[in-house]
Amino acid sequence: MRFKYLVIALIAFLAYTYGAKAGKGRYKEISNFFDSFWNDPKVKKARVQAKKDVAKARKAAVKKARKASH
């Protein structure tokens, strides 16, 4: 568990350091890229499909667990 926190802290530190060096202009550039990526119709469609797949898998797992418990 400590390793997990260490990795998270390291990533946060590196992200902060990179952001501080890059400045606001680079931050805006990266932010705009990810906004356009996130709002891309193909990505939206993939997100919707992934949610459906997860719901289906969850339902199957619950059904299997209930069957095993009886």
10 Å CB burial of residue 67 (0-12, 13-18, 19+) is exposed
Give, as one character, the DSSP assignment of residue 70: -
The predicted-structure confidence for 17-51, as pLDDT tens digits, reads as follows 777 776 777 778 878 998 999 999 999 999 999 99
Q: What is the dihedral of CA 56, 62, 64, 67, to 10 degrees?
A: -140
Alpha-carbon gap, residue 13 to 37, rounded angstroms: 25
Is the pLDDT at 69 greater than 80, yes or no?
Answer: yes
Average pLDDT value for residue range 59-69? 92
Sign of the four-CA dihedral 3, 54, 51, 55: negative
